[in-house]
Every structure is written in C-alpha cells, then in structure tokens.
Amino acid sequence: MVVDGIIHLVLLLVFAPLLQGVITRTKALFAGRTGAPLLQPYYDLARLWRKGFVLSRTTTWVFLAGPVVGVAVPILASLLLPFGGLRAPVSFEGDLILFVYLFALSRFFVASAALDTGSSFEGMGAAREVTFSCLAEPTVLFSLIVLARLSGGLSLGGLLGPGLNAAWITAAAPLGLIVVCLFVVLLVENSRIPFDDPNTHLELTMIHEVMVLDHSGPALGMVLYGSALKLMVLGSVIVRLALPLQTGYRFSDALVYLAGLILLAVLIGIVESTMARLRLVRVPQVLIGTMLISIFALVLVLR
Amino acid sequence: MIELSNLCLLLVILINFFTLGSARLVACIRAVALQGALISLLPCLAHGISGHTLMLFGSAFAFKGVFIPWLLLRAIREVRIRREVEAIIGFVPTLIIGAMLTAGAFIFADFLPLFPEHQGGLYVPTSLATLFAGFMLLMSRRKAITQVLGYLMLENGIFIFGMLLTEAMPLMVEAGVLLDLLVGIFVMGIVINQINREFSSVDTARLSALKE
C-alpha cells in the first residue's frame, strides 16, 4: 500500500504539467505553428518559483490558502483513485462522496481567495466559476451512481476496478454516455475552451483565470501546478473508464495509463482547436444537457 | 445485431435531446436527417437483410435522410432564417420536460402488455420517447420550420414502432406513409413561403392575429 501510494504520487507530481504541454503543442500544430517545447510548463513553474510574492494590503491569510488548498486537494483525491491498472492506495466504502467534495472544498477556497482581494472582477469570476461547477456537480454524481450500480460497491477503487471490462460488455451504452458526460465535466472543471479560455486576456470573458489575476510568484506557480494536477486526476477517471486494460504488472500498467492520459490531452487539444467558445448563456444549457444525459444513463442501468 | 440496433436507438434518443435543446435551425435539420438515416438502418438490423428490408432501408434513407432535409435546408435558405429566436417554452425547460417524458416512456413501456420478445428491448421506449419529443417540438416552437421538424420526429417515432411488426407490414403501407410525409413537407414549404411573403417573418403566432 505504501509502495502504491509512492508510485501514485510520483506519477502525479512528475507528469501533471506534461499534459498541459501536450495540449498547447497540439493546439500549436493545429494552428500551423511549431509551438512551445513540451516541457514549457515545467520551465514556467521553475521561473515562477524563483520570483517573489507581491501581496495586496487588503488580503489576509485566506488569499494564500487558496493556492495551497488548490495543490493539496488533487493530491489527496488522487490517492482515492486507481491510476489505470494501478490500485488506489486508500480505499473505503463511500469514498466517492469524499472525492467529489474534496474538489468542492478546493473550489470554495479558490473562490474565497478571489473574493478576499476585494476586486470586483475577481468576485465576478468567482461567481461564474461557482455557478458552472454547481451545474457540473450533478453530472459527476449521477455518473458515479451509474458506476456504483454497475459494480455494486461504493468505493472508487471498486467502481473503477477490474469489474469494468465485464461492465463494458453488459452495459456499453450507459458507460459510453457517462464517458462523454465526464469529458464535458473535465473541460468545464479545468476551464478549457468551449466553456472558458485559459489564454484569454480580456477580463470580461474570463471565468477561472480572473480569479487568479492577483496571485504572483510562487503562489501563481502553485495555482498553475494545482490546475495541472486537477486535470490529471479528473482525466485519469476518464482514462480508466475508456481504457480498462489491466496487465498485472505495475510498470506496464503505468505505461498504458500514461499513454491514455497523453491521448486524452491530445483529444482536449483537438477539441480546443476545432471548437469556438460557447456564449456564457449557453454554458448552463450544455451542462443541464449533460446532466440529463447522465440521468438517462442511470435510467438505462436501473431498467 | 442487437448491440448495433441498441446503439442506433440510443443515438436516436440523444438526437431527440439535441433537437430540443438547440436553437440553430441548420443544426436541427441535420440532426433530424441523421436520425432519419439511423432509423432507416433499423429494418435491416432488426430483421436481417432481405429484399423487403432493403427496400424499406432504401426508401426511408432516401426520403428521411436525404430528400426531406434537402427540401427543408432549401426552404430556410429562401426565407433566410438561421435560428429559432423566441420559443414559447424556453430551451432548458423543453430539455427538462423532454428528459422527463423520455424517462416516462421507459417506465410506461415496462407496463405495456407486449409480446415477450419485445419486452425489455429499447424499441418501444425509444419510439414513445421520439413521439413525445416530436410533440414537444411541435408545441413549444414558433417557427414553422421547427414545427415541420417536430412532425418529422413524430413520424420517426411511428417508424420505430413499426419495426416491431415489419414482417407483417406491407411495403405499400410504408410507401404510403412516406408519400404522405413528403406531401406534408411540400405543403408546409409552400405555407412557410406564403407566411414569409405576407408578414415578412415565419412566426406562426402571426397567423392567429386578426387583420384590421
């Protein structure tokens, strides 16, 4: 179990920024550019880490708690999750609720940190982020209920465990539906393009980025690192669902898992380069649509 | 075969949701065309490939998947409308009602006294859900084109229900239904043009207002 935990943490902490690099590289290739090197996110983090803090006088400790919780939560959540064929280091009945609400906790702290600056723009960003996440949350819960129903357990280790291969044969349709739903949630939660633009420079259209405008230096680095970790943790749920291979050896399992993650990152890059951003009023419609699809998947499973 | 037909039926239901939630007319027409193409595959998937099912596939694909959508796309090009501006019931409420009706169709289908071989399949609930979605579209939209789309979806639902008894259904009956549909679409196309010429918009609500 300790070995599992160490492998998990090493995989997560080392490879998380690479996914961002793959996404930007894919987008650059689509645009006909060479693009930044794959390791650019690592250089960015190193650069930010060497800089100093600039703190506004109106902020309190809450402002710094945001980035810290933003990094700690994905690490904790990753321990509940099997990474591909690698078993989850910590697993108990009902940990899927903990998994969902750990992310709610980090959202709460990031939003509080944004409100703590007293800037009206950051308050707007916090409001938008919280609205969209509260619409995305039912989808996640319904998808997890579908998985729980299929596997008969209530722990993430069991839901995403070896039973998935059999479930794909008996209930391919609901599983396919929830993979699509979870992919949409992944895009929303990580503020990717159809819902939010991570590269935008216009405050009025920002959602997630506007909340971290006031962070600088190591704090900004932690925010970026935290979002990379979050992308990897949420992505590994989808990778596990879509690619339930299990070789039995830790090394090859880890390789399959990483290959799946890189495929997922390429897919996100393709979605980002081929889709335009949705208008803000359309986002709730799409999220309600995915929620209805996940409910429909549940109806299919319950029949 | 059963897996493939279930996949088709699931896609049909997803297209129902999409059409209920989307405001873009071109996308809606393409979605309904895709739905028509998908359900035209069903006779072959449900009853195996034979001359009868191939005829059904060919005629349904040509009419529902190609010809009628082409007519509709041409109609909206002529009257220059792109999107449904003001639905009578909003998009999110129609989506939610549509989902509730779909769930209701699944529950209702379990209570129907069907033959044992049809029980538990996706055919009956999908056809009911598509019928209801077509009704919702007919009721909740103002533009005549979207109402035609609702009518088409209604017919798709009937077609899926007919799959349960294709062997008993003569080709002539199916051909007659398709012909009716085609004539209906033609008439609607002419009506849309007339409304457009008279009121310079295709809002059917204008029709109920009395003239001074």
pLDDT at A210: 82
Work out the end-to-end distance of chain A between its first and last CA atoms, rounded to an integer number of angstroms: 38
**Of A173-182, B78-87, B128-137, which range is least confident?**
B78-87
* pLDDT band (50, 70, 90) for residue B86: low
Q: Give the mean model confidence (pLDDT) for residues A260-266.
A: 94
| B60 pLDDT more than 70 | yes
Q: Which 104-143 residues of chain B touch chain A by CB within 8 A?
A: 106, 110, 120
Task: With CB atoms and an 8 Å threshold, state whether A292 touches B14.
Answer: no
Structure tokens at A115: 């409100």
Using a CB-CB distance cutoff of 8 angstroms, which residues of chain B are in contact with residue A181?
A: none
**Nearest-CA distance A177 → chain B (Å):** 9
Q: What is the DSSP letter of A90?
A: S
Q: Establish if B173 touches chain A: CB-CB under 8 angstroms.
A: no
Q: Establish if A288 touches chain B: CB-CB under 8 angstroms.
A: yes
Q: Establish if B99 touches chain A: CB-CB under 8 angstroms.
A: yes
Nearest by CB: B102 against A285, A288, A296:
A296
Q: Give the mean model confidence (pLDDT) for residues A246-261.
A: 88
pLDDT at A139: 94
Structural domain that includes position B74: 2-208
For A285, name the nearest residue in chain B, comparing CA atoms only. B92
Please check whether residue B128 is in contact with residue B105, taking contact to mean a CB–CB distance below 8 angstroms. Answer: yes
Task: With CB atoms and an 8 Å threshold, state whether B21 touches A285.
Answer: yes
Instruction: Tell me the C-alpha distance between B154 and B137, whole Å.
Output: 9
How many domains does the structure of chain B reveal?
1
pTM greater than the 0.90 cutoff: no
Task: With CB atoms and an 8 Å threshold, state whether B99 touches A172.
Answer: no
Nearest by CB: B103 against A285, A288, A299:
A299
Q: How much is the mean pLDDT over chain B?
A: 81
| B200 pLDDT more than 80 | no
Q: Establish if A274 touches chain B: CB-CB under 8 angstroms.
A: no
Using a CB-CB distance cutoff of 8 angstroms, which residues of chain A are in contact with residue B21?
A: 285, 289
Q: How much is the mean pLDDT over chain A?
A: 89
Q: Establish if B21 touches chain A: CB-CB under 8 angstroms.
A: yes
Name the packing angle between helices B144-162 and B25-47 (round to 10°).
10
Task: With CB atoms and an 8 Å threshold, state whether A289 touches B96.
Answer: no
Q: Give the mean model confidence (pLDDT) for residues A205-211.
A: 79
B182 φ/ψ angles, rounded to the nearest 5 degrees: -60, -45
DSSP H helix total and E strand total for chain A: 11, 0
Task: With CB atoms and an 8 Å threshold, state whether B91 touches A296.
Answer: no
Using a CB-CB distance cutoff of 8 angstroms, which residues of chain A are in contact with residue B110?
A: 303
Task: With CB atoms and an 8 Å threshold, state whether B96 touches A288.
Answer: yes
pLDDT digits (tens, 9 = 90+) for A53-90: 888 888 899 999 999 999 999 999 999 998 887 888 88
Residue A277, C-beta contacts closer than 8 angstroms, at least 6 positions apart: A193, A194, A195, A196, A197, A205
Using a CB-CB distance cutoff of 8 angstroms, which residues of chain B are in contact with residue A288?
A: 92, 95-96
Using a CB-CB distance cutoff of 8 angstroms, which residues of chain B are in contact with residue A299?
A: 102-103, 106
Q: Establish if B201 touches chain A: CB-CB under 8 angstroms.
A: no
**Nearest-CA distance A275 → chain B (Å):** 15
Highest average pLDDT, of A189-203, A245-259, B47-61, comes from: A245-259
- Predicted complex ipTM: 0.72
Query: Among all chains, which residue has been given the structure tokens 């591909």?
Result: A84
Query: Among all chains, which residue has been given the structure tokens 């393009």?
Result: A193
Instruction: Tell me the C-alpha distance between A83 and B57, whole Å.
Output: 45
**Nearest-CA distance B162 → chain A (Å):** 22
Q: Establish if B85 touches chain A: CB-CB under 8 angstroms.
A: no
With b meaning 16 or more CB within 10 Å and e meaning fewer, what string describes A4-29?
beebbeebbbebbbbbbbbbbbbbee
Max distance between CA atoms of chain B, in angstroms, equals: 61
pLDDT digits (tens, 9 = 90+) for B113-156: 877 777 777 888 899 999 999 999 888 887 777 888 888 888 88
Using a CB-CB distance cutoff of 8 angstroms, which residues of chain A are in contact with residue B6?
A: 173
CA geometry: angle B68, B72, B78, nearest 5 deg? 145
Residues of chain A with pLDDT > 70, as a percent, come to 99
Instruction: Tell me the C-alpha distance between B32 and B148, whole Å.
Output: 11
Please check whether residue A144 is in contact with residue A96, taking contact to mean a CB–CB distance below 8 angstroms. Answer: yes
Radius of gyration of chain A measured on its C-alpha atoms: 19
Structure tokens at A256: 């399959």
| B170 pLDDT more than 70 | no
Q: Establish if B6 touches chain A: CB-CB under 8 angstroms.
A: yes
Using a CB-CB distance cutoff of 8 angstroms, which residues of chain A are in contact with residue B91?
A: 285
